[in-house]
């Protein structure tokens, strides 16, 4: 940075393209040296005061003093090796600045004589300024590989260089988008400016006003919406033992009434083919009833009305016949009656909680299976479609339906495996003990994926495996 004691001859102390400091007004000044005999800067450009251009201060064309002085702005050229590539969030602001300035300058004939990347200055605040000459520090940098003829070419070249760190190499490249994941609406807007150049600034303005990426908040909302049905069913599973206690009592009374009816029958073929066999099983049923339903048998209010009232005498006789039954005898009787399918298998836990657990698992399986099936139909899933989210591949193309089906299978595989194992274990505790590691691994992998997707909203583990990116649609 060069300090000037005064305007005029002392400007020769600054080398071409340097930013100097005006000590009187304490402002940056950019000194652009020109060749002797160069014409003065056009008067319309001297009067420019738009934010997309540097304000011209003064100039000279006398002897060895040939320069133009502009009011400087802190920043660096876009060609600075440490600047690009940059995220879409920043690059879209550059495109808007260049589109607005370029289209206005094209209309009032104040475009710089040459359009190129070395004429773009990125300020410290992240805005793009169009310069009338090569930016400071770009003299030794390579030139654009393809000439730019209009503001649209400049916008597309900036898009290529800003996002990839490499400029478009051919005129054909300027007519297509850089091969990187971009929001689908941004791809449509950038493709639209090639067809309708007059709408360039308006289209990019609309792009800037929309979300640039999938935010963490948006991803959490998506996860919550997906898990909400299962969570509601899970809440029901926890509350089911309390909410369905009257139903449990009714189920117990119905089972007792059915067993008493079989006990009172002497011709029920379910008890055996011969009278002797039927009598043995009737004795087993009476033993089972005396132990399993003793609280109901001794509850006088249960026999006053309903289905049990007709079996009061049989119940009293069973209580008198079996005042005490050993646990070994009860286990043997229960095992034999289950073998004959005269009694249901023992339930692990309360019947209501067991039913709620199975309902919860069914909800998980339904959500997972439904998400897998709907992924190719709604280009990622129903919630994905409703929240205006899309999927693209590494080159920016929309992900195919088969790729999305594979991604959905990867995302839901841990849940499907864990839920299926739980569903089997709900009806077979021994199997659960042998295969509980499947449940643990499935849940750990699933929760790891959820945490990772929150930390990296635009690309979770399933996206990395399937080669997709989540983008605003």
Q: What is the pLDDT of residue 431?
A: 43
Question: Does one domain contain both 360 and 409?
Answer: yes
Does residue 103 lie within any of the structural domains? yes
Q: Residue 57's closest CA among 22, 18, 14?
A: 22
Which pLDDT score is estimated for 310? 65
| pLDDT on residue 429 | 44
pLDDT score recorded for residue 4: 37
Q: Which residue has the tokens 């209309």?
A: 107
Q: Are 449 and 418 in contact (CB under 8 A)?
A: no
Residues 200 and 267 in one domain: no
CA dihedral angle for residue 183, residue 188, residue 189, residue 193, rounded to 10 degrees: 140
Among 30, 50, 71, the domain boundary falls at 71
- The pLDDT score that the predictor gives to residue 19 is 58
| Residues facing residue 2 across a β-bridge | 20
Q: What pLDDT does 237 receive?
A: 59
How many other CB atoms are found less than 10 A from the CB of residue 336?
Answer: 15
* Domain membership flag for residue 344: no
221 and 356 share one domain: yes
* 94 and 196 fall within a common domain: yes
State the pLDDT at residue 422.
56
For residue 67, what pLDDT is reported?
84
User: Treating both helix axes as pointing N-terminal to C-terminal, what angle do 200-208 and 88-108 enclose, rounded to 10 degrees?
Assistant: 160
Domain limit, last residue, from 287, 315, 339: 339
Distances (CA, A) of 103 to 99, 130, 289, 404, 428: 6, 12, 92, 40, 73
- Among 92, 91, 135, 94, smallest CA distance to 112 is for 135
pLDDT score recorded for residue 449: 85
CA-CA-CA-CA dihedral for 40, 43, 44, 45, to nearest 10: 40
Q: Look at residue 361 in the predicted model and tell me its pLDDT.
A: 61
Residues 284 and 333 in one domain: yes
Looking at the structure, do residues 94 and 16 belong to the same domain, yes or no? no
What pLDDT score does 5 carry? 36
As separate numbers, helices (DSSP H) first and strands (DSSP E) second, the chain gives 16, 10
Q: How far apart are CA 61 and CA 286, in angstroms?
A: 120
**How far apart, in whole angstroms, are the C-alpha atoms of residue 381 and residue 404?**
9
Q: What is the pLDDT at residue 155?
A: 92
Is residue 361 domain-shared with residue 462, that is, in the same domain? yes
**What pLDDT is stored for residue 92 in this prediction?**
93
* Residue of 224, 185, 242 whose CA lies nearest to 208: 185
* Nearest Cα residue to 320 out of 303, 299, 297, 343: 297
Find the domain containing 309 and state its range: 244-339
Evaluate whether 234 touches 422 at the Cβ level (below 8 Å). Answer: no
Q: Is 94 inside any structural domain?
A: yes
Pair (359, 220) in one structural domain: yes
Separation of alpha carbons 414 and 447, rounded Å:
9
**One domain, residues 257 and 365:** no
| Residues contacting 447, CB < 8 A, separation 6+ | none
- Cβ burial 73-105 (10 Å sphere, 16+ → b, else e): bebbbbbeeebbbbebebbbbbbbbbbbbbbbb
Decide: 118 and 138 in contact? Cβ < 8 Å.
Answer: yes
Distance CA 293, CA 325 (A): 13
The answer on 125 and 230 residing in a single domain is no
Of 47, 71, 95, the residue at which a domain comes to its end is: 71
pTM reported for the whole predicted model: 0.69
What pLDDT is recorded for position 425?
Answer: 47
Asked if the structure places residue 266 within a domain, the reply is yes
**Residue 295: inside a domain, yes or no?**
yes
Q: How do 19-22 and 2-3 pair as beta strands?
A: parallel
pLDDT in tens, the chain (473 residues): 333 333 443 343 444 445 555 555 567 788 888 888 888 888 888 888 888 998 998 888 888 888 888 888 888 899 988 888 999 999 999 999 999 998 998 888 899 988 999 999 999 899 999 998 888 878 777 778 888 988 999 999 999 999 998 898 888 888 888 999 999 998 888 888 877 777 888 888 888 888 888 989 998 888 888 777 766 766 665 565 555 554 556 667 677 777 777 777 767 777 777 878 777 777 787 777 777 777 777 766 666 666 666 666 777 777 777 778 777 777 877 777 777 676 665 554 444 455 555 566 666 667 777 777 777 777 777 778 888 898 999 888 999 988 988 888 888 887 777 666 555 544 444 444 345 566 677 778 878 888 899 999 989 898 999 999 999 98
| Whether residue 367 sits in one domain with residue 320 | no
* Overall domain count for the chain: 4
In a domain, 229, yes or no: yes
Same domain? 50 vs 89: no
d(CA 473, CA 459): 15
Residue 345 lies in a domain: no
How many other C-beta atoms can be found within 10 angstroms of the C-beta atom of residue 9? 10
Q: How many residues does the chain have?
A: 473
Q: Is 197 part of a structural domain of the chain? A: yes
């Amino acid at each position: 940075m060069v300090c000037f004691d005064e305007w005029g001859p002392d400007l020769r102390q600054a080398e071409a393209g340097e930013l100097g400091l005006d000590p009187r007004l304490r402002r940056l000044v950019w000194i652009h040296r020109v060749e002797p005999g160069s014409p003065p800067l056009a008067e319309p450009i001297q009067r420019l005061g738009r934010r997309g251009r540097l304000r011209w201060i003064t100039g000279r064309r006398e002897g060895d003093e040939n320069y133009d002085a502009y009011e400087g702005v802190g920043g660096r050229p876009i060609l600075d090796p440490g600047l690009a590539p940059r995220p879409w969030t920043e690059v879209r602001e550059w495109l808007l600045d260049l589109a607005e300035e370029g289209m206005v300058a094209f209309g009032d004939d104040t475009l710089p004589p040459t359009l190129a990347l070395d004429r773009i200055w990125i300020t410290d605040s992240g805005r793009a300024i169009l310069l009338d000459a090569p930016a400071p520090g770009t003299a030794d940098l390579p030139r654009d590989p393809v000439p730019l003829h209009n503001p649209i070419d400049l916008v597309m070249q900036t898009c290529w260089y800003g996002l990839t760190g490499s400029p478009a190499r051919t005129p054909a490249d300027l007519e297509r988008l850089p091969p990187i994941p971009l929001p689908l609406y941004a791809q449509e807007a950038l493709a639209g400016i090639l067809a309708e150049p007059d709408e360039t600034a308006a289209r990019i303005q609309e792009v800037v006003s929309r979300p640039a990426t999938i935010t963490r908040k948006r991803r959490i909302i998506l996860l919550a919406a997906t898990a909400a049905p299962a969570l509601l069913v899970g809440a029901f599973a926890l509350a089911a033992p309390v909410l369905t206690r009257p139903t449990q009592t009714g189920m117990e009374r119905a089972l007792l009434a059915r067993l008493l009816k079989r006990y009172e029958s002497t011709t029920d073929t379910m008890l055996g083919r011969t009278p002797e066999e039927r009598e043995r099983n009737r004795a087993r049923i009476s033993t089972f009833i005396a132990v399993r339903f003793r609280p109901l048998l001794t509850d006088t209010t249960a026999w006053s009305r309903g289905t049990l009232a007709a079996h009061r005498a049989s119940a009293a006789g069973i209580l008198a016949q079996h005042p005490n039954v050993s646990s070994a005898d009860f286990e043997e009787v229960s095992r034999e009656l289950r073998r004959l399918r005269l009694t249901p298998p023992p339930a692990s836990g309360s019947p209501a909680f067991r039913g709620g657990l199975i309902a919860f698992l069914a909800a998980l399986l339904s959500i997972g299976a439904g998400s897998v099936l709907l992924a190719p139909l709604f280009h990622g899933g129903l919630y994905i479609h409703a929240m205006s989210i899309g999927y693209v591949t590494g080159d920016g193309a929309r992900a195919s339906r088969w790729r999305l089906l594979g991604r959905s299978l990867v995302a839901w595989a841990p849940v499907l495996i864990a839920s299926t194992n739980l569903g089997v274990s709900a009806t077979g505790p021994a199997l659960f003990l042998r295969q509980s590691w499947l449940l643990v691994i499935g849940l750990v992998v699933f929760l790891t994926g959820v945490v990772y997707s929150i930390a990296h909203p635009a690309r979770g583990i399933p996206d990395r495996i399937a080669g997709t990116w989540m983008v605003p649609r």
